[in-house]
Chain A
């Protein structure tokens, strides 16, 4: 039981790390690229097709990143579950 408890604590720490890194990227692509630094992005980054970079990030790029982020989250969390023995089979 104590083994399970220390495992649970370790698992919780790892999952916090995963969540924080995912959310850091999340904030950067949406608030960062598309809103706060968009003027800088527009002038200094290559255009995507005919669209200025910041504009494209706001209307397309950030959404694509969100999907990739969730896939990454699922992958790393499932791995963490396995490592600490909390994995469950799909039914």
Chain B
């Protein structure tokens, strides 16, 4: 059967399942819409949170990032799992006990002011917008591959589907759909890797393949990592296991991701859907367990993909290039520039050309390769590939059966949809519930509130789609990493102080949040979009890792301002004492 037909069938079936579940679990009230009525089991919530968590960035970009940078890519692996330890021990049990439906709700009540609530709403919008851009890009890549269209059209189709889908079910629909999506994702992610691991190393378990020997085609056993390291040395780049990031930068980026995780509104609200504080803890264990399955597989996949890529492409004549190479080239994700006119693909150190490939219409070179209009660099490297395609192209590289490739496509779509839906929900509730209902028009009805939510999600998607078409950063994962920096510098410190300090007051909370996010946002915009010089990095920290400094700014400003202003009123102090007691958490209300 044709690959395209198979892809359609697989994605069609999964869509059918999702829509079926969404219709079955349709939200009847705003309570259903925001927190699924508060009665989801810890296991189901764990799965749903894992699906919500594993975005297009995780699914598509992470393994590609690890493949391209080896040890350096570990910041994604540790950052996106380690944050759950912080989230579970410091945040969610207390916020669940507090019992309101959204994060700005807590900020508004704890810091007893609508101004604080307003700042929190804007932080939530900024964070979710940055994050959702990466998702739209991911959806675009999958659809462009699927329907053989430009990424821009793919992004628009994806946005349409997500809008239909998130507006329909609210939190209840999303939660149960995400359970199904997790199942699709975990199979789509792990099964191909198992096959590849068997071909390359003879190990059924990819995690053992990672530390095992390369034995492909009955070759003499060589440690796989050493083989890759040797090739890296040969090419003249840093060893796969060494990496090139400075320790400071590595530390800061990892930390920014971890602390950001603990401050991400769309993850925190997931834990408002279970019954009690005890269930929150249990649910968090399930969540991290489910996430770990994929995160432990990703480094193996990255290594295998790198091996396959080098094995099949390096020093191969273009005429003998594998079919997947040409397929992705047709889509503008791979490019080859025959700099020395020998018809052989040199995969070496350095960049091929400036920026992303700009295909010269349908023009072909003397070997049949697509021509680019970019300014060619002087480096010997001739092969350009977009890192994001590693996971999608990998099953083809390894020559796996067609149904597996279709399954991977379905998994990608599931990953991007589930996260985008979760984010849209937070975005729309931040506007409809926290902004409209609590601040601007307290007398609107339930129904009007839902309408505002839907309008907000439409507007948000339109903006996200625009940035999905013109992404501010090369790799999906990097766009997403900015969202974490913003969360680490705004919500994490503010929530932490709100829970563990009785002294931090309204003035301190607001000043801290504003200065933290302003500092981080300013730094990212200056260095990422206004062409700031790398030499001027603060302590050599790249924009991805700056959230951690933003977090310190937030803490310091909040403490200083609080110490010069009167302590919070007595009822707020009592509220703080109350949320520290784990029993008696009622249903989450709004």
Give A contacts to B, CB under 8 Å: 8, 11-12, 15, 18-19, 22-23, 26, 30-31, 34-36, 48-52, 55-56, 58-60, 62-64, 66-67, 69-71, 73-74, 77-78, 81, 86-88, 90-91
Contacts and interface: CB of A to CB of B under 8 A. Distances in A.
Given A12-B580, A63-B81, A81-B278, A50 B250 contact: no
Contacts of B213: 50
A29 to B, nearest CB: 9
Contacts of B289: 67
A42 B299 CA distance: 18
Contact of A63 (B77, B226, B285): B77
B503 to A, nearest CB: 16
A73 B281 contact: yes
Nearest to A58: B74
B476 interface: no
Contact of B78 (A23, A63, A74): A63
Contact of B284 (A51, A70, A90): A70
Contacts of A30: 78, 82, 254, 258
Contact of B226 (A26, A50, A78): A50
Nearest to A48: B211
7 contacts: A19-B90, A26-B86, A63-B292, A63-B295, A86-B583, A87-B278, A91-B275
Nearest to B77: A59
B251 interface: yes
Nearest to B295: A63
A48 to B, nearest CB: 6
A22 B581 contact: no
A81 B181 CA distance: 34
By secondary structure, the B interface counts as: helix
A8 B213 CA distance: 55
Interface in B50-92: 66, 71, 74, 77-78, 81-82, 84-86, 88-90
B208 interface: yes
B168 to A, nearest CB: 28
A22 B93 CA distance: 15
A51 to B, nearest CB: 5
Contact of B84 (A23, A36, A62, A70): A70
Contacts of A86: 581-583
Contact of B296 (A19, A55, A63): A63
What 3 A-B pairs are tightest by C-beta distance, nearest first? A49-B211, A50-B223, A58-B74
Interface of B: 66, 71, 74, 77-78, 81-82, 84-86, 88-90, 93, 207-208, 210-213, 223-226, 241, 247, 250-251, 254-255, 258, 275-279, 281-282, 284-285, 288-289, 292, 295-296, 299, 577, 580-584
Contact of B254 (A31, A73, A81): A31
Contacts of B71: 55, 58-59
A56 B226 CA distance: 14
A40 B81 CA distance: 24
B85 A90 contact: no
Given A31-B255, A55-B241, A60 B207 contact: yes
A64 B292 contact: yes
B480 to A, nearest CB: 19
Contact of A56 (B85, B88, B211, B250): B211
Contact of B583 (A56, A66, A87): A87
A26 B88 CA distance: 12
Contact of B89 (A19, A35, A60): A19
Contacts of B580: 8, 11-12, 15
A21 to B, nearest CB: 10
B276 A74 contact: no
A86 B581 CA distance: 7
A74 B583 CA distance: 15
Given A19-B89, A23-B85, A86-B583, 10 more contacts: A11-B581, A30-B78, A35-B251, A63-B296, A67-B285, A69-B85, A70-B88, A74-B285, A81-B582, A88-B278
Contacts of B85: 22-23, 26, 66, 69-70, 73
Given A36-B247, A87-B278, A66 B581 contact: no
Contacts of A64: 292, 296
Contacts of B89: 18-19, 22-23, 73
Contacts of A19: 89-90
A86 B578 CA distance: 12
A64 B77 CA distance: 11
Nearest to B277: A88
